[in-house]
Amino acid sequence: MRTTRLMLGLGLAIASGAARADGDAARGEKRFDECAACHSVERGVNNVGPSLSGVFTRKAGELPDFRYSPAMKRSGIAWSAETLDSFVGDPQKLVPANRMPYAGMADASARADLIAYLREATK
């Protein structure tokens, strides 16, 4: 059941053209304003949301010192440009019942910019 839901989510992301590779990191830094109220890109700094440091090398729900929702922990997602694009686009669609209070970033090019920024900033 869980696997099915996850695959559906990924399927939709791929069907909608997946993540765009042409993001602009400088513009993405502005986009990150929407995330920065809860997320830091610094290592070990958990706020309302977990630190995003190293997110591209992590699986969802992996940080030992952050209290994730059960939905996020069992989602089994490996974070990548594609999965982040899908998640940020519609968080509740990819991981139903996760507890991030964010409605989603609808604009695909804005997401591409954000992900370009995250790729640099979370290294």
Partner 1 sequence: MATKLKEVDAVIVGLGWTGGILAKELTEAGLKVVALERGAMRSPANDYSLPNIRDELRYVVRHDLMQNTARDTITVRNEPKQEALPMRRLGSFLPGEVVGGSAVHWSGHTWRWTDMEFKVRSMYEERYGKAFIPDDMTIQDWGITYAELEPYYDKFEYTAAISGKAGNLRGEIQPGGNPFEAPRARDYPLPPLTPILASQMFNEAARNNGYHPFPRPSANASRAYTNPDGSKFGACQYCGYCQRFGCEANAKGSPHLTVIPIAMRNPNFELRTHSWVTKVLKDSDGKRVTGVTYTNVLNGEEFEQPAGMVLLCAYAINNVHLMLLSGIGEPYDPVAQKGVVGKNYCYQTGAGATLFFQGRRFNPFMNAGGSNDTIDDFNINWNFDRGPLGFVGGYNVAGGFNTVLPIGYRPVPRGTADWGKEWKAATAKWYQTAMNISASGSVMANRYNYYDLDPTYRNAFGQPLMRMTFDYKANEHKMGQHAAKVVNDIAKSMNPTHLNSATARTDPWTVVPYQSTHNTGGTIMGTNPRASAVNKYLQSWDCHNLFVVGANVFPHNASYNPTGPVGALAYWTADAIKNRYVKNPGPLVPA
Instruction: Tell me which residues touch partner 1 (CB under 8 A).
Output: 33-38, 46-48, 67, 69, 99-103
The answer to whether the beta carbons of residues 84 and 104 sit under 8 Å apart is no
Least separation in angstroms between residue 102's CB and partner 1 is 7
Q: Measured from the CB atom, is 82 or 90 closer to partner 1?
A: 90
Nearest Cα neighbor of 7 from 80, 86, 98 is 86
The strand ranges marked E within 81-120 are none
Q: Token pair of 32, please?
A: 């990150």
Least separation in angstroms between residue 113's CB and partner 1 is 15
Q: Measured from the CB atom, is 26 or 48 closer to partner 1?
A: 48
Q: Token pair of 25, please?
A: 């990191």
Q: Measured from the CB atom, is 47 or 57 closer to partner 1?
A: 47
